[in-house]
Structure 1
């Protein structure tokens, strides 16, 4: 299917389901790709306070820069936006900076689909993302690096190079991430992922910046103890503790990512971020508990990857099917937006065991000349 210019505004209710920033990111990315102008009232109406934060403003402006869009209402606190895309011409060299600890990974979420497709071979796009790298309410940059991007490369052939130039912790931000995005000229292939296979190893890093090394060690030890209690053999656990230098991190903070690798090449993650007043042991245990919970349902992707791959399943050519755990509101939102914007059809098979099979008849998107 080739994209065509559509002039009628597509109206999307910003309060649907999770009613947060993910709805905005997916809608804007698909608007840019498909040349479909959108209007979104009730922006983040399920959040307190509602409306755009600096991070959402930066993300929408980044997508607008990629596709030469005209926008209305894209300012702090706005509860209604209009996004009218122009033509995407690659490659791009862009920088996005919300000026806060807003998440770099969420900036990548809105921009990556826009930079992925080219009607002819071209140089990679270069993207510098500033802000927070390890923050709450968003995937940590380590998750993007070790779970999301490997999935994209293995199953969709999308090979994004990501370099963490400097970490930025909440509340100061100040981090910088550099991404190289080579475009594809053909439709993405469908993905079929139904059998996870046994866990072979659990890797991970507990890290701190601007704080004593012992705090990372305590996070690591608590996570390891919880994994052992959950039935993971000690020989399968390979978790390190890391303290960053002043050059490697801005501000002080920490976090932990654990990820299980299975015999069938699945990667299942669990993570947690240090916050003021939370003991390092609690942070480590939270990450381990999240990982164990995601392993319990025998799904091939975890609860966070589940919603991030929906947009790519919709754009892929042919029928995709992925087994996962219980659906999250983020995933239900992503499916709704993908169906409304692309015309792809999703089917859900929810099993008594708690697992869900998400299948999708994708549109086989390729860009117009």
Structure 2
């Protein structure tokens, strides 16, 4: 597929080699007005090429920028995208499947932040599904971390939706910014609060949520983590009303806040393939990994910070646990498209990692 003069070629199979490459490339290409040709899309996956969620996200940023998108069909392994002028306003994107709402937000929120006027994103699909952040984690953990760069995004979870039918819906209300301030998240501090939400929906009885929460707490007690000593763990269990969820589903998201303002956490989705006790234990292990990693963010937020660090106006510092392949991939693409400089170093004092970035100071040219 031939692109226009001046286009950039991106290998979609590099490193993590999944949908993340498409999302970061799409967002940055739109902001920087760079035509891109993405090749070998998800080439290493068992089922390569574009899926419903990727297609919906690409069409969304095409609409938000009056762009041109070629080759974007289900299963396509190559696309060409030429962004145009970014516009605010109201947009709707529907995967018509359990394709993740939060991944639609990942590709579109950076674009909306640099629009000429406020944007409302109505996103539909799966809100709590595998291989993507649960909506509760996105709103309660990621958005507070994004706020460190300056933006404060309002949201409304209209309805939760699960695998395989989706049917979920969320609104994001975005006020544009002139620029992003750099972050200094290098002191994890001490845990001061732990709050969680454990839900079930559809035909699943409330005892499903209660069992998940009970197992979560039991696993934490057995682990006896020094980080949790003296900290009360509050887990709210509830059943979603029929109007607030579509289909059957369950899950738990737990959020930790620290004395230095860090917000991190973990969780798990219920599944017919495992017991509620297994779900609770898995969530506890995920949460313990987050609070014991020595970082200021958990492994799920880690890679989502990279694009914003690259665009920020100045040097950002982010302390993390082990650097994930998703984060390395995000750095690779962000450096390639923005020219931002990243440096990763290990802190031998507590075996955490420091990610430094000299951001390019991207400015909203419409404000």
Q: TM-score by structure 1 length?
A: 0.95
What is residue 177 of structure 2 aligned with on the other side?
Answer: 184
- Number of matched pairs: 358
Aligned partners of 1:100 and 1:132 also within 8 Å = yes
The alignment yields a C-alpha RMSD, in angstroms, of 1.3
What is residue 124 of structure 2 aligned with on the other side?
Answer: 130
Aligned partners of 2:200 and 2:209 also within 8 Å = yes
Which residue, out of 156, 159, 170, partners 1:166?
Answer: 159
Between the aligned partners of 2:266 and 2:234, the Cα distance in structure 1 is 14
Alignment of 1:308-327 (within 5 A): 308-327=304-323
Between the aligned partners of 1:233 and 1:220, the Cα distance in structure 2 is 19
Unaligned runs of 5+ in 2: none
Between the aligned partners of 1:267 and 1:238, the Cα distance in structure 2 is 16
What is residue 32 of structure 2 aligned with on the other side?
Answer: 34
What is residue 104 of structure 1 aligned with on the other side?
Answer: 101
Aligned partners of 2:265 and 2:291 also within 8 Å = no
Between the aligned partners of 1:188 and 1:100, the Cα distance in structure 2 is 34
Between the aligned partners of 1:88 and 1:25, the Cα distance in structure 2 is 17
Unaligned runs of 5+ in 1: 1-5
Between the aligned partners of 1:222 and 1:126, the Cα distance in structure 2 is 39
Between the aligned partners of 2:38 and 2:286, the Cα distance in structure 1 is 33
Q: Cα gap change, 1:15/1:246 in structure 2, threshold over 3 Å: closer, same or farther?
A: same
Between the aligned partners of 2:58 and 2:157, the Cα distance in structure 1 is 22
Which of 228-237 and 126-135 deviates more? Answer: 228-237
Alignment of 1:33-112 (within 5 A): 33-89=31-87, 91-112=88-109
Task: Summarize deviations over 1:138-164 as a string: whole Å, max 9, x none.
Answer: 0000001100111112x1111111111
Between the aligned partners of 2:23 and 2:137, the Cα distance in structure 1 is 18
User: Could you tell me how far 1:43 is from its partner in structure 2?
Assistant: 0.1
What is residue 144 of structure 1 aligned with on the other side?
Answer: 138
Between the aligned partners of 2:303 and 2:173, the Cα distance in structure 1 is 23
Which of 48-57 and 293-302 deviates more? Answer: 293-302
Aligned partners of 1:7 and 1:36 also within 8 Å = no
Aligned partners of 1:303 and 1:328 also within 8 Å = yes
Task: Summarize deviations over 1:43-90 as a string: whole Å, max 9, x none.
Answer: 01121100000110000000111111111111100001111111112x
Aligned partners of 1:228 and 1:234 also within 8 Å = no
User: Could you tell me how far 1:350 is from its partner in structure 2?
Assistant: 2.2
Task: Summarize deviations over 1:262-290 as a string: whole Å, max 9, x none.
Answer: 11111111111112221111111111101
2:270 matches 1:274: yes
Aligned partners of 2:52 and 2:99 also within 8 Å = yes
Which residue, out of 186, 199, 220, partners 2:213?
Answer: 220
Q: Which segments of structure 1 move beyond 6 Å, counting only runs of 4 or more?
A: none
